Every structure is written in structure tokens, then in C-alpha cells.
Copies of this chain bind each other. A is one copy, B any other.
Amino acid sequence: MRATLLQDDGTITVDEVPVPDLSEPTDALVRVTHSAVCGSDLHLLHGFARRPGGRRMGHEAVGVVEAVGADVVSVAVGDVVIVPFSWSDGTCSFCREGTTTSCVRGGDFLMAPSALQAELARVPEADGTLVVVPADVEEEMMPSLLTLADVYLTGHHAVVAGGAGPGSTVVVIGDGAVGLSTVLAARHRGAERIVLLGRHADRTDLGVEFGATDVVPGRGDDAVDAVREITRGEGAHVVVDAVGELATYATALDTVRPGGVVSRVGVPRYDDAPLGLAPVFRRNVTVTGGVAPVRAYVDEVLPRVLDGTIRPGRVFDRELPLSEAAEAYRLMDSREALKVLLRP
């Protein structure tokens, strides 16, 4: 079968690889119908965690179950399923508490040999991991379902962890697909004012359609001043860092109000960061967020996608066949595309 590989020299190729098999009785084999390129794939492209001989890429997918192991009971051959970016058994302490990304039998397609920009995928812990969707779902719904594998529910996680809801002012730093998903999730959960910090008008325009009430260009001191003005000098209840740089964390601290929350869903590209008396402790600022436990949220959000209440699939502005994965990465990396859907 064909799969996307990141080669040692940093090029993206689509090559023949061995067909995966059911190596555990809890596995399922899924024929991928829709996959995607994510910002975290670009981190790999730029040299993080390369693997000699090439590494498999992709961690977002929707597909059809092709085979199931002997112990699998909740999905059957032919089911249309969402494959969240990490697998989880659904039964361990952490899964029961909603932190499925820390499942004791879990793992991450981002770092796994069985990654999802491919024709077929082996999915471990199929009962805990896969989410069955109605078989008669229309094709135009598929991009939105695909966002439930990662990007929309990452934004949703930012909003839930941050405790945003009716009456909240939410600042979202970053106008990539995660930032825009955060805007949509904040609106869906009833936030009163949603301020999007972003530099790309075509993206922030979609942010406004998703529910941003204010757009502030950039992320620096001017942006901080603008947020302060919008919030009558008080700062926002929740600031979502959808970028992950030390500078965006600093902007978050500068724009959050006393008693407010900085919610991080951009993977931090720093180890230490300010947590001291003046910017955080004296002001009772909470720092939360993390790798989104997508699986814990799907059951709640899926009905709202299926009934058309939210259309998170609008973050996909390009679609390419799997064979053109290299072009998909180029479009994402150059920011010509917001998010690219790949069809195996």
C-alpha cells in the first residue's frame, strides 16, 4: 500500500510500504478515506525527531473498518470511523478521568510507525479509540468529521480547559487551523467576546465567520494594548495560546485578567517560562491546557457536527490526492494553505 514518508533529507514522498496486519487482537485495520496535514507534521518536517530510513507521517483520519481483531466488539467491518490522533483503551484511570492522551495502553499516531497519511492504518485499542459515525453521512460532512480527529477538538480542549463560557472574554493567539477552531469552539460554548490575534487577513476573515468579535493584527505590544482597550483595561478571562512560543506565552500573560486562565494548545517550544510572583501568582493566573484528549470529547461534539450546528471542516481550504502529499506539505509550510485534506 502507499503511505507518506518524511525522508532523511527532509523531502516528503509517497511510497509503497508493507500492508499492516492485526498484530494484536484489540487492533482494527482501517482503510483511510480522508487524512490531513497538521501544523505538528511541519515540526517534523523541520527536523524534529527524524528517523533514519524515513518516518511515516500523519495522525488525522476518517476511514472504513477493513478488519478487526478477535477481541474487538464495538466496531465492525464496514463501519465508517473517526480515528483520533492518539489511541486509548477507554478503561484505564486516566481515560475514565478524560485524559485519554495519557492512557496506560495508549500511544500517538504522530510518533507511530502506523501513521495515518496512508491507504491503510493499524489502529491499536480499537474499542477505546475508534468512533463510529452513521454510514449514510454525506461526503460534504467528511471534512468536519475529520477535524474531530484532532484540530477542532484541540480548539475545543483549549476552551474547555480554560473554562470559557457565557459571559467570558476569550483571546485566541494564532490564526492557524487550531486558533480558528478555538474561535469556533469558544463561540459554540457561548463566549461573549472572542478576540482573535492573527496576521493573515484571509485567515482572520474565516475567524470572524467562526465567531470572532474582534480581530487584532499581530501578537506583540500593540496587540496587548489593543486587547487591554477591548477589555476596558482588565484583560481577558481566558487566553488561548495556539502557537506555543515563549513570546506568545508572554502575550498571554500580558492579556489575561487577574483570576483568569492561560490555556495552551500550541505545543510549547520552550522548557522554562515565567511562573513567578508578579505575572502569575499575585494575579491568580492559572496555566492549563496540553495535548488534547480528543477521544474524551468526540461523543459530546459529534452530534453538533452531524446536525450542522458547527462546521469545523471549513478550515480545510485545499484538497489533494495522497500522491501529491509533498505538494500538500509545501502549501502548508509556505502558508499558502490553511489546512490540506489528503485523499488516499
Contact = CB atoms under 8 A, between A and B. Distances in A.
A281 B290 contact: yes
Given A259-B97, A267-B277, A291 B287 contact: no
Nearest to A234: B93
Interface residues on A, range: 35 or more
A276 B274 CA distance: 11
Contacts of A97: 259
Interface string A263-281: 0100110111111110011
Contact of A94 (B259, B275, B285): B259
Contacts of A249: 275
Nearest to A290: B284
A284 B101 contact: yes
Copies in the complex: 2
B286 A102 contact: no
A115 interface: no
A263 to B, nearest CB: 9
Given A94-B257, A258-B94, A259-B97, A102 B283 contact: yes
A69 interface: no
A99 interface: yes
Contacts of A54: none
Contact of A284 (B93, B273, B277, B293): B293
22 contacts: A93-B257, A94-B258, A99-B284, A101-B284, A102-B283, A161-B286, A249-B275, A259-B293, A264-B281, A268-B275, A270-B275, A270-B276, A272-B272, A272-B274, A275-B275, A275-B287, A281-B291, A282-B290, A282-B291, A283-B290, A284-B289, A284-B290
